Structure 1
Amino acid sequence: MSNTLFLPNYTAGTTAYEQVPDICCPYGTKAVVIGGKTGMQKARAILSAAVAASELEIIDFIWFGGNVTHDNINKLCSNKSVKSADMIFAVGGGKALDTAKATADKLSKPVFTFPTIASNCAPVTSLCIIYNNDGSFGEFYFGRRPARHAFINTTIIANAPLMYLRAGIGDALSKQYEADFNSRRFNLDHENELGLQISRNCSALLLKYGIQALTAAMAHTVSAPFEQTILTIIVNTGLVSLLVNNSYNSSMAHAVYIARTQLPRCERHMHGEIVAYGVLFLLTLDNAIEQRNSVYAFNKKAGLPLCLKDIDVNDNALEKFTAIIAKDKYISYAPYSVNQQNIKKAIDALEKYHQSQNNNII
């Protein structure tokens, strides 16, 4: 019996795309770009210039469809340009990348990622989140391997709207706390233990550099704290996603997100924003009050959610919200019994703490 693990490779920096020919040409000569409209607009000129003097030809630029759904993935799988390409270049944010990654996996084609925002670890992980056509959460789709290489152009990401970096920080904050929570009572093998060790510096780096990174992003500047932050969001958390069993990797913070997708007006909030609230909830549930207060203070400075109102969950929706959280598929991995009653208790305690604070966003 054996276990094979594919880990991500990446190039990061202001000139990251210059490495595309050397890294991609061994896989063929024809590439098709699948991405978001804005992402492709931002990356197109730089990417085209990078391959202009090489044997590599970009044969088409194709919009991914707007959401990660089976319908959009199947449309791309039947697209003539996609079928004829030797490789797929995935360009844009998380949903565009996940759609392209799932398409490549179904067609057994190599995929390379070109994130234009730093909102999650999609560029380097094999996991894809697939949604239903109505926008609600559908399923986790696990590709056979992550992208062959991620090209992280820090200049493009520094010029992206600030909300994406803020959401990326919120999403990445969950890795350390969720992995620890769901794996706590288990004896871990080498792969999971390695992933857990990596997860333990995710939150520390974000809490240290995150506010400076947001300040740099507001000025569209690539600084050392900015690079530390986006690489923590993309690479560190991606490694955890690949190494740690998803039963440990997804816990209460993401259960909050999945529950929120079942309620109206979820489209007003980014994935990472909701997860950021979920981190506060998880730490409150786990009675990790000192850590909760540190993350709360950070969220306040960063402009991330602090309470139910910030994610548009009102009293009328609270019963359904907590009931869905209590049915999370990974809840049985928690280190103790988690049910709707103690979920409500933790939410109430977090609301009371929020009310006791000066809630002026810095």
Structure 2
Amino acid sequence: STYENGDALIANEIVQKADIIFGVGGGRACDTCKYVANEMDKPLFVFPTVGSNCASVTAICVMYHSDGSFRDYYYPKLAEHTFINTKIIADSPYELLWAGIGDALSKECEAVFSSKEDELSHTPLMGVQLSKICTEPLLAYGKDALQACKEKKVTNALEQVVLDIIVSTGLVSNMTTQMPDYYYNSSLAHCVYYGSTVTEAGHKHLHGEIVALGVLCLLTYDGKLDERDRIMQFNKEIGLPICFDEIGIKEDEFDVMVEKAITSTEWKFRPKDVTREKFMQCMIEQNKVGRAFRAE
């Protein structure tokens, strides 16, 4: 999802003549179509084919540079409707649902953490409260959903996880984002991800895979160690990373990660107690804890 790709579609005569834009595919395809539809003021209908993200439901696009590094956010209108076919998602790559679980694990802890110092008005308050139903279905149904995806079967577990990843987290995103007034949609877990996009190994791993590790870093930072350990156990069981060794990022790259992270919207709207030094320290601490946990 780059502005260049979107602008190329906007310049396409076929797209210019279209009455409706259909966004079909994964998160980056959906985000590109959201950008195009918004810029061209055309109706948009979205058809997610994977359960890896909430892009099909949200009013935010994650935009990248052509080299794959994070660029910025773009804020389009919402799609007229999102169509979810779990038969299609059950037939999608296992790794994308796996990464989607990792991404969705961030929603509750990031919304609660980023809003903790503020007196919330009705809509963001509702969004933060809704975020609190996003974690448990993933922990309860995640393993069974992944097995169903592996077997290409639609099951209750798969449906619960897909609805959590696409709908629940998407609604939270919409309720907790009102630029430039407030942004509680994501926080330090995504700072870890955006930092990883400038490392040597970061591009070899999926967005949600790295965010899942970022969740552990955030919970370490916030001192919620029991919750961190519970999610770390879950990550270990389904193969999501619990230390940076598992995604090929070295601690001597943490400096460049922090430099990238502090350019993000998440950093701008961080709680006041968050500093560069403390952010780096939570990554170092989680790397240490994760290494020990993996060795058990």
**Corresponding residue for residue 46 of structure 2:** 113
Which of 72, 89, 95 is matched with 2:28 structurally? Answer: 95
CA distance in 1, matches of 2:21, 2:263: 37
CA distance in 1, matches of 2:74, 2:271: 26
- How far residue 233 of structure 1 moved from its aligned partner, in angstroms, is 0.2
**TM-score (ref. length: structure 1):** 0.77
**Corresponding residue for residue 17 of structure 1:** none
- Say whether the 8 Å CA contact 1:326–1:338 is kept in structure 2: no
CA distance in 2, matches of 1:133, 1:358: 35
Gaps in structure 1 of 5+ consecutive residues? 1-67
CA distance in 2, matches of 1:325, 1:96: 24
CA deviations on 1:120-156 (whole Å, 9 max, x unpaired) are 001111211111111111110000x211111111111
CA root-mean-square deviation: 1.5
CA deviations on 1:89-142 (whole Å, 9 max, x unpaired) are 111100011111110111101111111101100111121111111111111000
Which of 115, 139, 147 is matched with 1:183 structurally? Answer: 115
Q: Which has the larger radius of gyration?
A: 1
**Corresponding residue for residue 282 of structure 2:** 346
- How far residue 70 of structure 1 moved from its aligned partner, in angstroms, is 1.2
Change (3 A) 1:74 1:328: closer
Partner letter of residue 234 of structure 1? I
- Say whether the 8 Å CA contact 1:124–1:234 is kept in structure 2: yes
Gaps in structure 2 of 5+ consecutive residues? none
1:229 is aligned to 2:161? yes
**Corresponding residue for residue 52 of structure 1:** none
Partner letter of residue 98 of structure 1? D
- Say whether the 8 Å CA contact 2:201–2:249 is kept in structure 1: no
CA distance in 2, matches of 1:134, 1:162: 26
- How far residue 348 of structure 1 moved from its aligned partner, in angstroms, is 2.4
Change (3 A) 1:212 1:104: same
CA distance in 2, matches of 1:333, 1:71: 28
**TM-score (ref. length: structure 2):** 0.94
1:154 is aligned to 2:154? no
User: How many pairs align?
Assistant: 292
**Corresponding residue for residue 62 of structure 2:** 129
Partner letter of residue 129 of structure 1? V
Partner letter of residue 216 of structure 1? A
CA distance in 2, matches of 1:355, 1:258: 22
**Corresponding residue for residue 169 of structure 1:** 101
**Corresponding residue for residue 205 of structure 2:** 269
Partner letter of residue 99 of structure 1? T
**Corresponding residue for residue 355 of structure 1:** 291
Q: Percent identity?
A: 41
